[in-house]
Amino acid sequence: MARTKSKKVSPVGSTAADAAGRRARRSPGYREARVRLAPFEQLARIVIRRRMELGLTQEQLAERMGTSHSAISRIEGGQHGTSVQTLQRLAAALEMRFVMGFEHGPADKPVRELVTA
């Protein structure tokens, strides 16, 4: 018997992704917010994954950075931007390198110019 990948279904019978898709189709404002927040959500996923790889709690990561637990919580919430200085401290606390840059050209083959800080 083939095993299928199960989807997490809400009590009303659809996945959170399905519900978000329906809302995005109905609401231009929601679509705009999703696009605007996408980079913050991507950063949050990287931070959470790396923090877990290192076996750190949010409190321990905050201590490494010299910041508050609530600051880490906001970053991992994926709803807020943060300064370059905070990103540099975050990268160091996560034992990573912070890289920033620009890209130009076509979206499917961008030319990237990066700087390691």
- Per residue of the chain (117 residues), give pLDDT as tens: 555 555 565 566 778 778 777 877 888 887 787 788 889 999 999 999 999 999 999 999 999 999 999 999 999 999 999 999 999 999 999 999 999 999 999 999 999 999 997
Say if CB 103 and CB 110 are below 8 A apart.
yes
pLDDT computed for residue 6 by the predictor: 56
Say if CB 90 and CB 47 are below 8 A apart.
yes
Distances 104 to 61, 108, 109 between C-alpha atoms, Å:
34, 11, 9
Say whether pTM exceeds 0.95.
Answer: no
The domain segmentation of the chain, as residue ranges, is 16-116
CATH topology of domain 16-116: 434 Repressor (Amino-terminal Domain) (1.10.260)
pLDDT computed for residue 4 by the predictor: 52
pLDDT computed for residue 3 by the predictor: 52
Report the C-alpha gap between 18 and 49 in whole angstroms.
Answer: 24
Q: Quick one: 72 exposed, middle or buried, by C-beta within 10 A (0-12, 13-18, 19+)? A: buried
